[in-house]
Amino acid sequence: MALTKPIPPKLRAEMSKDKFYSKCCIADNTCSGVIQWHHNLIFQGKRQNTKSSILPVCKSHHDRADTREIREKINWIMLNRMSDMEIEHYSKAIDYQQLKKYLNGIYS
């Protein structure tokens, strides 16, 4: 099943104006390449098109987004961008509030 869900034009325009989306959100010494917008949250089998769940990552990090090291970092960034209400909405099979606490203990 394909998870492809393009970013709506209105959201894409809004993100294009936001400086956050102009550089890799991980921004470490392995960054390389063009910035790509990564749909980080899959909910009910679909990529979520919300500003807080789409993250700017360089090609190097995007290519490794399924590794534990990168996945934890992008989840940490995403969860700290989301409101408590957003996190609660998506906390069904995964307790994202607890995951946020765990990741804050590692990366904060």
- Stated as kind and residue range, the H or E segment containing 18 is none
Q: What is the arithmetic mean of pLDDT over 16-40?
A: 91
pTM attached to this predicted model = 0.90
> Would you say residue 76 lies in a domain?
yes
Q: Is residue 63 part of a domain?
A: yes
Specify whether the CB–CB gap between 14 and 26 falls below 8 A: no
What DSSP line would sit under 31-99, residue for residue? --S-EEEEE--EETTEE---TTTEEEEEHHHHHTTTSHHHHHHHHHHHHHHS-HHHHHHH-SSS-HHHH
pLDDT in tens, 41-60: 999 888 999 999 999 999 99
Q: How many independent structural domains does the chain possess?
A: 1
25 part of a folded domain: yes
pLDDT in tens, 82-103: 999 999 999 988 999 999 999 9
**Does residue 80 lie within any of the structural domains?**
yes
